[in-house]
Structure 1
Amino acid sequence: MADDPNVGPNDPEGVDKLRAELHQIEYIMQVGIGPETYYMIPDTGSSDTWIISEGFTCLDPYYGFEMNQEECGFGPLFKGEFPDGKIENQNLNISYLSGDYLNGQMGFANITVANVTVPKQQFSLVNVAAFGGDGVSSGILGLGLRGLTSAFTGNDPRNDGIDNLVNYSPLIETMGASMAADPILSFAMSRNENRSFIAFGGVPPVKTGEYTSVPIQKGITTGGRTDYFYYDVEIDSMSWSSSTVNQTATNLPKMVVDSGTTINLFPQSVAAAINAAYSPAGRREDSMIWSVPCDAVPPTLDIVIGGKAIRTHPSSMILPETAAEGSNQCLSGIGAGQEGSYILGDTFMQEIVAVFDVSEKMELKFAQRLD
């Protein structure tokens, strides 16, 4: 690893493998809740940790009618009560960009990630889910910041709103406060499971180039409150080039570094221009996604953050596992977001090291992998 004193400890408290799942459009890891272990999705784009509870109600996310539990596509269900006690008069009420939403009770458990045990972490046992799962994972490991937590006083989600929102300590904050490990989280994502890692308390043992560092940006709620919500970063510029195109975009909006989103979601004009630079060019499928021939040649994509260009690996620009049987059309790694939800997802995070430092530094660090 490059010797960079600004990166934090080189040796993490714990390292574990990340596994690509569901046609390689998401990553999962093993998480211990109390005495049991489950596969969960590590998500830097949300802050609430939850697991699906035995006896939950599965709802259709579009129409709201009840379905068989199997339709929600979860892995093993959590059986029993909160290992370290329930929080009375409090509920989880969360929805995602995908349209999925969940409700559940709140409580505590010791949660173990990569051999680091975070004591008495608040989490939810979900009892109502409108969710499209992968058939393997049982919930989400929320790795975001306190401002994004979604607990509410009361037990009726219909009454939830900004007035009864309760922010609480998410896992990465509790990890640091309890001194289980330094409040540093890092990813070395790869589609190759043998070289795909997540680390807590430091960075994984992979060889990198020089790091670039940028502060996490604060956001403002609709009520005017300023806080840390997402892992928002400023983008200096983006450049993409092919045999026929060489373009640069500047004056870009802030973007969220989100391990729970598969593709990058850029402003419409930027996404369209990058997809047009594939050879052959990409085809727009809806307002968000493009498809490209699975054997297309992607453009070179450099994203400049903190004055340093981070190159997207060519293998991240096309998702070959998403092709329908008999089709040569694959999902492009570049899509279009909406204002306020531009994202650097797994397309960006694969084949680099991304460090989320939630100590007093409150910064993100990125480096190209050299291994």
Structure 2
Amino acid sequence: MERRRRRDTDNLSAASGAPHVLSHDGQRSYSKRDDTPLEDMNSNLWMGTISVGTPPKNFTVDFDTGSADLVLPGAVCDSTCNGHTRYDPTQSSSSVNINQTFSLSYGDGSNVQGEQYVDNVFVGGYEAKNQTLGAASTYSSGFQVSAFPPDGLLGMGFPAISLYNAQPVFQTLVSSGAVKEAVFSFALSSDPGRSELLIGGTDTSLYQESTMVYIPVKVEAYWQIALDGLTRPGMNGTSDVVLVNKTSYAEAIIDTGTTLIVTSDSNAEQFYANVTGATPNSDIGGGVWNVPCDAIDSLVPTLTFGGHAFTLSPSTFNLGPASNGSTDCVAGLAGGGSDFWIVGDVFLQNVYTVFDVGNSRIGFADPAA
């Protein structure tokens, strides 16, 4: 499964001599403050803080709906974990070694290996007791601090995709009764103070309630739903380019752990067809495309879910110059995937997203003005 799209930008940062954009209160509907503020890392990923162990120790993680397991750098991790805060089971009185190893791999080639433990995990004001987690003994380059600022990854997919064969953190919170409403929601923004993960409800101050639409999950594994439409405007007076409509059935995986919208190479080629100067980005690779900066704002796609059309803003679809001083910009839709559409952060910045575990559905709404 093609999923993570962050390490691909390392070469671009080196070529340009600077970090690329791809590298790195109000009325509420809940009874206590249990949101986790998220820090924007150049609109490439959003990370927040959790605590693990007794006494609790803080770690930063990428909250990832495209996986289901919690992994942190272990105390015995080699130099590949340098710069990250490490989980030391000997310093937690609630830690238990369950004598199981693990090996996790991701779509960009990143991987991590280590040992599994059970410990207490605190997130969003709640405690997941006896939670299975992985303590890494080695990080591949995609997880090293120069490419991946958070300490680790906290998966928020369904149990079916847990490679630990264990309950993910959120399901532990629900099954234990710690969380009364089996819902978590995300607001992602490049504006300071506007990004959060909310456990156990929604933040009505951050979205327009009348625009909320819910789409049922197809399979409880990834957050997989029907994609009703994907179009972009035509160029120079030509007709709109339609890649998906109601008669050409498509499915999307909603993935907070992916930066771009990722599809097959053939779909990407169709999307950029007849766009003068659009070319695959040979520096980043992995299906990423460049488009002349003076044309990219005219290509923003519209995605339709549950009969509601959501159009990306130019600022989220345009990921900035391909290199220092370039007149080409990196576009937010990439090939290199499969016929499934992986819908990542370039879209999710344009909506408020509700992951309703209890009713097996996803909700999208327009952000508050």
TM-score, normalising length: structure 1: 0.80
Partner of 1:116: 126
Offset of 1:260 from its aligned partner? 0.5
- Structure 2: gaps of 5 or more residues: 1-24
The answer as to whether partners of 1:17 and 1:193 remain within 8 angstroms in 2 is: no
**Number of residue pairs matched by the alignment:** 326
Q: Summarize the Cα distance change of 1:139–1:83 in structure 2 as closer, same or farther, 3 Å threshold.
A: farther
Q: Summarize the Cα distance change of 1:271–1:126 in structure 2 as closer, same or farther, 3 Å threshold.
A: same
For structure 1, which segment, 141-150 or 177-186, has the greater mean C-alpha deviation from structure 2 after superposition?
Answer: 177-186
Offset of 1:175 from its aligned partner? 1.2
Q: Deviations over 1:112-133 (max 9, x none)?
A: 2222222222111111222323
SS of the equivalent of 1:31 reads strand
* Alignment partner of 1:101 out of 90, 93, 111: 111
The structure richer in helix per residue is 2
Q: Summarize the Cα distance change of 1:104–1:287 in structure 2 as closer, same or farther, 3 Å threshold.
A: closer
- Distance in 1 of aligned mates of 2:228 and 2:32: 30
Partner of 1:346: 345
Residue 284 in structure 1 maps to residue 294 in structure 2: no
For structure 1, which segment, 244-253 or 137-146, has the greater mean C-alpha deviation from structure 2 after superposition?
Answer: 244-253
Q: Summarize the Cα distance change of 1:306–1:11 in structure 2 as closer, same or farther, 3 Å threshold.
A: farther
* Alignment partner of 1:269 out of 254, 257, 266: 266
Q: Deviations over 1:55-90 (max 9, x none)?
A: 313xxxxxxxxxxx25x6652222343652324332
Offset of 1:178 from its aligned partner? 1.5
- Distance in 1 of aligned mates of 2:311 and 2:300: 8
Q: Summarize the Cα distance change of 1:215–1:130 in structure 2 as closer, same or farther, 3 Å threshold.
A: same
Q: Deviations over 1:150-198 (max 9, x none)?
A: 12xxxxxxxxxxxxxxx21101111111222222111111112321121
Q: Deviations over 1:230-273 (max 9, x none)?
A: 00111111121155341223314311100000000123333233
Partner of 2:367: 369
SS of the equivalent of 1:147 reads helix
Equivalent position amino acid for 2:62 in 1: I
Q: Deviations over 1:93-112 (max 9, x none)?
A: 21000101111211222212
RMSD: 2.6
Partner of 2:166: 168
Partner of 2:325: 326
Q: Deviations over 1:329-366 (max 9, x none)?
A: 3321101143265300001101211111111x111111
* Alignment partner of 2:48 out of 29, 46, 54: 29
Equivalent position amino acid for 1:117 in 2: E
Offset of 1:138 from its aligned partner? 0.8
Equivalent position amino acid for 1:330 in 2: C
- Distance in 1 of aligned mates of 2:273 and 2:189: 26
SS of the equivalent of 2:193 reads helix
Offset of 1:43 from its aligned partner? 0.5
Residue 146 in structure 1 maps to residue 166 in structure 2: no
For structure 1, which segment, 83-92 or 33-42, has the greater mean C-alpha deviation from structure 2 after superposition?
Answer: 83-92
Residue correspondence of structure 1 range 31-46 to structure 2 within 5 A: 31-34=50-53, 35-46=56-67
- Distance in 1 of aligned mates of 2:93 and 2:334: 41
Equivalent position amino acid for 2:140 in 1: A
The answer as to whether partners of 1:292 and 1:318 remain within 8 angstroms in 2 is: no
- Distance in 1 of aligned mates of 2:306 and 2:345: 20
For structure 1, which segment, 142-151 or 111-120, has the greater mean C-alpha deviation from structure 2 after superposition?
Answer: 111-120
SS of the equivalent of 1:120 reads strand
The answer as to whether partners of 1:13 and 1:200 remain within 8 angstroms in 2 is: no
Partner of 1:75: 84
Q: Summarize the Cα distance change of 1:121–1:80 in structure 2 as closer, same or farther, 3 Å threshold.
A: closer
- Structure 1: gaps of 5 or more residues: 58-68, 152-166, 219-227
SS of the equivalent of 1:214 reads strand
- Distance in 2 of aligned mates of 1:43 and 1:277: 35
Moved over 4 A (4+): 8-13
Q: Summarize the Cα distance change of 1:200–1:76 in structure 2 as closer, same or farther, 3 Å threshold.
A: same
The answer as to whether partners of 2:158 and 2:221 remain within 8 angstroms in 1 is: yes
SS of the equivalent of 1:326 reads coil
SS of the equivalent of 1:54 reads coil
SS of the equivalent of 1:172 reads helix
Partner of 1:14: 34
Percent identity between matched residues is 23
Partner of 1:202: 201
TM-score, normalising length: structure 2: 0.80
Residue 297 in structure 1 maps to residue 294 in structure 2: no
- Distance in 1 of aligned mates of 2:328 and 2:366: 29
Q: Summarize the Cα distance change of 1:111–1:319 in structure 2 as closer, same or farther, 3 Å threshold.
A: same
SS of the equivalent of 1:55 reads coil
Offset of 1:291 from its aligned partner? 1.7
Q: Deviations over 1:294-315 (max 9, x none)?
A: 4532424221111211222221
